[in-house]
Structure 1
Amino acid sequence: MPEHARPPSVEEPRLATRRPAAPRRRRLPRHVLAALPLALAGLLALLVSGNALRPFERITTIDGKMASKSDFFKDPQVRRLLLKHGIRVEIHRLGSRGIATQSLAGMDVAFPSGQPAARLIMQRQQRTVKSARPFVTPLVLGTFREYAQTLAAAGVARPQQVTGGEDTLYYDLDMRKFLRLIEERKTWNGIGYEKRSERSNSGRVLVRTSSVCESNAAGTYLSILAFVKNGNQPPGSEPRPKGDAAGSGDPVLDVAAEVKPLINLQGMAADEQADSYFSDEGESIAPVSLIYEHQFLAHQVAHRERHQRQDTRRVLLYPSPQALTEPQLISLGADGDRLTDLMETDEELRQRAIELGFRVRFSGENGTSEQLNAYLRDHHVQVPVPNPDQTKADAPDLDALERIINHVGSCPPAGKGGVS
């Protein structure tokens, strides 16, 4: 066949193949990228502080019956500090005297707010126990400025001197003169309150206390009253001064009979007085309330931080003679030993106690105030001045105090306690 007659050759079609596309990288969402630096910083902080593995460590729960100083162990920063040592404290709140008289079965520690209850607890133990007295705090009367000024004008209280021209937050109270106002049934208006306030108060001059049957604060206040009424000596330690009425023939019960009207008139309550005093309605609840110094100082520091000023409406009355309360943490077992050791040796816990208004013990002293004073100055809170009259109201011995408390409070049998 001629070449020109051949059909044209057709080239086979070529299939075009595409090179597989490289897999696309998945991009992290922007919010994840933004959070990464914070997460890394948090991890580094945990590593540096030694807390990175904390969730995997064993945490020991320590059960304790505690009175008003349980507030220390409720503090969030204290809880964090204890967790660093693998300890969590479970609080069973009860009054100091209730702790001393009720069963402590199942408890690792007891933490009464003062020495009388602590001594009762120690006497009940069948073994040598560890204990710690990490800080002290004076018993005080919380009131409001116009009431304190009224007492000062009546010659019953004296304002502490301050520099800089600001109003004082602190007054020294003569307990003998103050008790005379109560005994003579004086009213606030009767001693000049209306002259210093836009309001009126025809109510009696009284102090609102917690129950003497339950509370260390009320028991300590009772000791002050008994000390004053017994000629500045603890009942039962010396013969009654000449000229005093004989009464029952029992010097201890004679003093108890004199003191009972002063306490019963004051409306004993089972609740914590500081909660009422620092509430918005505190002045309406009671013009004068029994509290501890550390509660007032912690309130002033917190008020300064929130409002950039002191709470000048509330002021303190320091009774003279004075009473210093010594809370005691008592171990009831091996786990309790760990906690008492920490309370005595851990510098961070001691510093936090100062920040909460306590006078922390140093070098075996009864109480060191300079560290607390320095902290108050740094936070622009007025520092209280020691009263020149340093008379201390010595408490009666345990037996005498128990008899006075039972007589004044008509207390129920041991085994039923409340809070404070």
Structure 2
Amino acid sequence: MPEDSRPSTEEPRLTTSRPARRRTRHPRHIIAATPLALAGLLALLVSGNSLRPFERITTIDGKMASKSDYFKDPEVQRLLLKHGIRVDIHRLGSRGIATQSLRGMDVVFPSGQPAAKLIMQRQQRSVRTARPFVTPLVLGTFRDYAKTLEAAGVARPQRAAGGGETLYYDLDMKKFLNLIEGRKTWNGIDFAEHSNRSNAGRVLVRTSSVCESNAAGTYLSILAFVENDNQAPGTERDRHKPAGSGGGAASDPVLDVAQQVKPLINLQGMAADEQADSYFSDEGESIAPVSLIYEHQFLKHQVDHQKKRGKQDSRRVLLYPSPHALTEPELISLGEQGDRLTELMESDAALRRRAIELGFRVRFSGEDGTSEQLNAYLREHEVQVPTPNPDQTKADAPDLDALERIINYVGSCPPAGQGDDEDDEGDE
């Protein structure tokens, strides 16, 4: 075969391919967490808290009584942090706040007006104050005891919507005190007929310490008012009574009343909020059949019970005393830092709303009354709304001097720690 007719063969070619690009692998848990992190960042941006760790937080020191539970509330603390404020609470009874040193404090928050007046009398400058809410003084009891008082003609049930079991009773204090003064026992007024148990104990109200607590001092005012023929002791009328007209040789009408009311309460060495803790505990009925508490504590308990269990706590009920007493906590500023907090408490709508959710009757300056928004909140959470007693007699408190004398006599209180006033002046 001729050379030029042979098939030609090509040199084999070596082909190379580019190495595959290695993909970066991320751990699955990082991929899964990314949307959550983005959602969290978005929430912070929307709420305005994204820069909170970098902002300066002002700590405000305050001596507070039972209404310190408002500032202990996590939601209130969150709302205050949005304004760069944290409140450091030094817990003390209202009267203790009024009589002890206030050195180093920015604010004080006694639970009622008598203590607030004592505090303001000690200040060397005009102070800024706020009264953000009010709450009635009430007696917490249990249904069998309330039914016993109803059968005795001492308590009257408020009507519940739909005709169900009521949470609230109106209590005639004059008739109730007659039971206490007569040393009646629960069995003696037929408690066993309304319960499968018996109780040979005396009919008494368990209170917190009158030497420390606003609640106990306010209750003393009710007792003194009733025992003094619906007149606050120490008034002009008392000063013109003949010597010994209060029931003895004593010529001091205030001391006469103090002697009358001392046997009417069962004093305990605890603060008002601790009293409520005992009442709402599982052993509350064994501790005391009737306890002195504030309305807001009961209402919050009922809302929480409804949220957790889908029903009201029908075992516990309230007695609204008549004559009644409304306590007015007052936030008192002692300096510039305190001014920030008092101003905020008056102006911030979210803080007012949270007070309603905690059971307080919040002060409003518009068309809404103190109770309307609270009532709406209770209805929203299917909790019975208390109705005003037709008898709206209010127990007038004695003047400060008379009340202090009654408290000291009934509680055998130690001397007030007023010797620290000079220390306070340097901080005001």
TM-score, length-scaled by structure 1: 0.92
Displacement after TM superposition at 1:22 (Å):
4.7
Superposed, 1:157-168 pairs within 5 Å as 157-168=155-166
Distance in 1, matches of 2:105 and 2:301, equals 31
* SS, match of residue 196 in structure 2: coil
- What amino acid is aligned across from residue 176 of structure 2 in structure 1? F
Displacement after TM superposition at 1:173 (Å):
0.4
Among 339, 347, 350, the alignment partner of 1:348 is 350
In the alignment, which residue of structure 2 is the partner of 1:212? 210
Distance in 1, matches of 2:56 and 2:27, equals 37
Superposed, 1:259-298 pairs within 5 Å as 259-263=261-265, 266-271=266-271, 272-298=274-300
Displacement after TM superposition at 1:96 (Å):
0.2
> Is the 8 Å Cα contact of residues 143 and 287 (structure 1) preserved in structure 2?
yes
Change (3 A) 1:378 1:365: closer
Q: How high is the sequence identity, in percent, across the aligned residues?
A: 78
RMSD between aligned residues: 2.0
In the alignment, which residue of structure 1 is the partner of 2:260? 258
> Is the 8 Å Cα contact of residues 323 and 393 (structure 2) preserved in structure 1?
yes
> Is the 8 Å Cα contact of residues 135 and 367 (structure 1) preserved in structure 2?
no
Q: Deviations over 1:285-336 (max 9, x none)?
A: 0000000000000000000000000000000000000000000000011110
- What amino acid is aligned across from residue 144 of structure 2 in structure 1? E
- What amino acid is aligned across from residue 135 of structure 1 in structure 2? F
> Is the 8 Å Cα contact of residues 80 and 86 (structure 2) preserved in structure 1?
yes
In the alignment, which residue of structure 2 is the partner of 1:32? 30
* 2:83 maps to 1:81: no
In the alignment, which residue of structure 1 is the partner of 2:9? none
In the alignment, which residue of structure 1 is the partner of 2:378? 376
> Is the 8 Å Cα contact of residues 221 and 397 (structure 2) preserved in structure 1?
yes
Superposed, 1:17-416 pairs within 5 Å as 21-240=19-238, 244-263=246-265, 266-271=266-271, 272-363=274-365, 368-415=370-417
- What amino acid is aligned across from residue 260 of structure 1 in structure 2? K
Change (3 A) 1:24 1:414: same
* SS, match of residue 159 in structure 2: coil
Displacement after TM superposition at 1:262 (Å):
1.3
- What amino acid is aligned across from residue 290 of structure 2 in structure 1? V
* SS, match of residue 208 in structure 1: strand
* SS, match of residue 277 in structure 2: helix
Change (3 A) 1:63 1:302: same
> Is the 8 Å Cα contact of residues 145 and 314 (structure 1) preserved in structure 2?
yes
Question: Which segments of 5 or more consecutive residues in structure 2 lack a partner in the other structure?
Answer: 1-11, 419-428
Q: Deviations over 1:109-164 (max 9, x none)?
A: 00000000000011111111111000000000000000000000000000011220
- What amino acid is aligned across from residue 188 of structure 1 in structure 2? W
Distance in 1, matches of 2:365 and 2:24, equals 63
Question: Which segments of 5 or more consecutive residues in structure 1 lack a partner in the other structure?
Answer: 1-12
Q: Which region of structure 1 is more displaced relative to structure 2, 362-371 or 326-335?
A: 362-371
Displacement after TM superposition at 1:25 (Å):
2.0
Distance in 1, matches of 2:16 and 2:89, equals 73
Displacement after TM superposition at 1:356 (Å):
0.2
Distance in 1, matches of 2:31 and 2:285, equals 54
Q: Deviations over 1:24-61 (max 9, x none)?
A: 22222222222222211111111122110000000000
* SS, match of residue 310 in structure 1: coil
Displacement after TM superposition at 1:339 (Å):
0.4
- What amino acid is aligned across from residue 191 of structure 2 in structure 1? Y
> Is the 8 Å Cα contact of residues 210 and 217 (structure 1) preserved in structure 2?
yes
In the alignment, which residue of structure 2 is the partner of 1:10? none
> Is the 8 Å Cα contact of residues 136 and 367 (structure 1) preserved in structure 2?
no
Distance in 2, matches of 1:363 and 1:247, equals 51
Q: Deviations over 1:332-387 (max 9, x none)?
A: 11110000001000000000000000000011899610000000000000000100
Q: Which region of structure 1 is more displaced relative to structure 2, 22-31 or 153-162?
A: 22-31
> Is the 8 Å Cα contact of residues 210 and 407 (structure 2) preserved in structure 1?
yes
Distance in 2, matches of 1:62 and 1:48, equals 27
Distance in 2, matches of 1:94 and 1:133, equals 19
Distance in 2, matches of 1:178 and 1:366, equals 34
* SS, match of residue 405 in structure 2: helix
Q: Deviations over 1:230-262 (max 9, x none)?
A: 010100113347864254101111111111121
* SS, match of residue 228 in structure 1: helix
Corresponding pairs, count: 403
Q: Deviations over 1:255-274 (max 9, x none)?
A: 111111213xx142324210
> Is the 8 Å Cα contact of residues 247 and 254 (structure 1) preserved in structure 2?
no
- What amino acid is aligned across from residue 245 of structure 1 in structure 2? G
Change (3 A) 1:69 1:382: same
- What amino acid is aligned across from residue 270 of structure 1 in structure 2? M
Change (3 A) 1:111 1:60: same
> Is the 8 Å Cα contact of residues 246 and 253 (structure 2) preserved in structure 1?
no
> Is the 8 Å Cα contact of residues 150 and 191 (structure 1) preserved in structure 2?
yes
Change (3 A) 1:38 1:309: same
* SS, match of residue 407 in structure 1: helix
